[in-house]
Amino acid sequence: MSDTIPKPKPRPAPESIPYWKAAHEHRLSLPKCDACEQFWFPPSNACRHCLSPNFHFEDVSGRGKVYSFVTYHRVYRPAFAADVPYVVALVELEEGPRLLTNILGISHEDVRCEMPVEVVFDDVDADTSIPKFKPASA
- DSSP secondary structure, 8-22, as one string: P-----GGGHHHHHH
Identify whether the C-beta of residue 89 lies closer than 8 Å to the C-beta of residue 68: yes
pLDDT at 3 exceeding the cut of 80 = no
Listing DSSP states for 74-126 in one string gives S-SSGGGGGG-SEEEEEEEETTS-EEEEEB-SS-GGG--TT-EEEEEEEE-SS
CATH 3.30.420 fits 61-138, yes or no: no
> What is the mean predicted confidence (pLDDT) over 88-117?
97
Residues 41-66: tens digit of each pLDDT:
999 999 999 999 999 999 999 999 99
Q: Residues of CATH 2.40.50 domain(s) within the chain?
A: 61-138
The share of the chain scoring above pLDDT 70, in percent, equals: 97
